């Protein structure tokens, strides 16, 4: 009987998650001629509901075009299956005689795989392939999707800094990131010199204090005549609460099914605008929410990111042959290598940005932070220096 591979995509889309899906599908077809490759629509929902696209039947050139397209072509889901839901997924996998299930996603997705594996016994290989713009997977040097998103953020902040050299003022750009600050830190990867923005970086890993924030901006304005700020959506107050929760009027707060406050860039933007209007009166200020813009822009897909994502998908088929596990991107001598790591190393855990990526006494990248980002996000543009 031919082998059957089930592939699904979970969590927030990225610029290159389709590379991983297509890499896995084509590698399965190459190594196992005649195999079935079923793409489940909308993540594990498709398995539960028997809703598949047969990737075995897709022409290779059509798949390669999909690979180069951002967002999850199979659809995605944010479902976190409970025990009963897991049983339905396992039933679904058995109904199609699945030999392996490859689930592409972040730490929630790998958590689902660990639970399914424990519930299923050993008949099916459960594989997690990494994907997240947050770059927050344990055991990974970086994750597919981060480089493209990081380039968007680096390019945007380089450009906004040039804009504010021409018309000085305060700019705050709010960048996705609930628990990890990597993507927000990428804002500083392409600073031109010590005078360049972003001048201040606020990430979830370091408590945000209003008085300190206002002082930081005042000092930067005095020094450079402008102030460019990058803030993570998930920045927290010293009490550990998300800033949105702390600053938003309570009738506006929304909670998800898990009781987590819904992080809205808009609420944070509004709160930040309020702080600037109160404490920095009369200064020209602008707050923008990048939101979904960096995570899958068709105009900014990084080639290294795309290639690594494709190779991670191919390697997932090797991990399936080895009985399952999580595909990890690790660093060795400056090169990215793929390794198999246990699902439980990644499942449900968050890799925070190391504290030493920021300067101890300033909200700016440290040498370590620059070094890490320069390896992943080498500067792509060398603009001429303005005359002001």
Check binding of 264 to a second copy (CB under 8 A).
yes
Q: In what side-by-side order are the strands of the sheet with 100-105?
A: 52-54, 36-40, 4-9, 100-105, 125-130, 324-332, 335-341
Q: Which of 6, 24, 35, 39 binds a second copy (CB under 8 A)?
A: 39
DSSP 268: H
Check binding of 237 to a second copy (CB under 8 A).
no
Q: Residue 319 corresponds to which tokens in the numbers above?
A: 């991990």
Q: How many CB atoms lie within 10 A of CB 385?
A: 12
Q: Residue 235 corresponds to which tokens in the numbers above?
A: 């920045």
Taking the complex as a whole, how short is the minimal distance between the CB of residue 280 and a second copy, in angstroms?
13
DSSP-derived 3-state class of residue 10: coil
Check binding of 9 to a second copy (CB under 8 A).
yes
173 CB contacts (<8 Å, ≥6 apart)? 156, 157, 160, 187, 198, 228, 229, 230, 231, 287, 288, 290
Check binding of 269 to a second copy (CB under 8 A).
yes
Check binding of 53 to a second copy (CB under 8 A).
yes
Known active-site residue 305: no
Taking the complex as a whole, how short is the minimal distance between the CB of residue 380 and a second copy, in angstroms?
7
Taking the complex as a whole, how short is the minimal distance between the CB of residue 13 and a second copy, in angstroms?
5
Of 37, 55, 44, the residue nearest 96 (C-alpha): 37
Q: Residue 69 corresponds to which tokens in the numbers above?
A: 């397209």
Count of residues interacting with a second copy (CB under 8 A): 70
Check binding of 246 to a second copy (CB under 8 A).
no
Q: How many CB atoms lie within 10 A of CB 69?
A: 17
- What mask, x for binding a second copy by CB under 8 A, covers residues 271 to 310? --xx--x--------xxxxxxxx-xxxxxx----------
Taking the complex as a whole, how short is the minimal distance between the CB of residue 359 and a second copy, in angstroms?
26
Contact positions vs a second copy (CB under 8 A): 9, 12-13, 18, 39, 41-42, 53, 62, 65-78, 151-152, 155-156, 158-160, 162-163, 165-167, 171, 252, 254, 264-267, 269-270, 273-274, 277, 286-293, 295-300, 380-388
Residues involved in catalysis: 134
């Amino acid at each position: 009987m031919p082998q059957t591979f089930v592939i699904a995509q979970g969590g927030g889309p990225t610029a290159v998650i389709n590379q991983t899906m297509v890499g896995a599908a084509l590698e399965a077809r190459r190594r196992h001629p005649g195999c079935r490759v079923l793409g489940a629509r909308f993540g594990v929902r498709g398995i539960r509901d028997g809703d598949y696209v047969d990737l075995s039947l897709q022409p290779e050139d059509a798949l390669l075009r999909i690979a180069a397209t951002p967002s999850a072509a199979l659809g995605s889901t944010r479902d976190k299956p409970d025990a009963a839901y897991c049983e339905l997924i396992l039933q679904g996998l058995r109904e199609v005689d699945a030999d392996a299930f490859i689930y592409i996603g972040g730490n929630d997705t790998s958590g689902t795989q660990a639970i399914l594996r424990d519930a299923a016994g050993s008949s099916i290989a459960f594989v997690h392939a990494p994907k997240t713009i947050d770059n927050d997977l344990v055991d990974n040097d970086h994750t597919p999707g981060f480089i493209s998103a990081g380039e968007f953020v680096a390019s945007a902040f380089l450009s906004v800094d040039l804009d504010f050299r021409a018309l000085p003022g305060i700019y705050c750009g709010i960048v996705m990131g609930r628990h990890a600050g990597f993507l927000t830190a990428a804002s500083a990867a392409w600073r031109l010199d010590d005078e360049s923005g972003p001048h201040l970086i606020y990430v979830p890993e370091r408590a945000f204090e209003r008085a300190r924030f206002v002082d930081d901006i005042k000092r930067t304005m005095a020094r450079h005549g402008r102030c460019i700020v990058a803030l993570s959506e998930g920045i927290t107050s010293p009490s550990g609460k998300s800033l949105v929760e702390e600053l938003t009027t309570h009738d506006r707060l929304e909670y998800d099914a898990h009781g987590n406050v819904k992080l809205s860039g808009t609420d944070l933007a509004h709160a930040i605008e309020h702080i600037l209007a109160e404490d920095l009166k009369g200064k020209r200020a602008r707050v923008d929410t990048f939101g979904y813009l960096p995570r899958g822009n068709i105009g900014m897909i990084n080639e290294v990111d795309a290639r690594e994502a494709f190779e991670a998908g191919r390697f997932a088929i090797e991990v399936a042959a080895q009985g399952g596990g999580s595909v990890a991107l690790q660093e060795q001598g400056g090169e990215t290598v793929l390794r198999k790591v246990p699902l439980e190393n990644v499942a449900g855990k968050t890799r925070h940005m190391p504290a030493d990526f920021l300067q101890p006494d300033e909200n700016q990248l440290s040498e370590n932070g620059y070094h890490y980002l320069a390896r992943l996000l080498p500067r792509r543009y060398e603009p001429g220096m303005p005359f002001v």
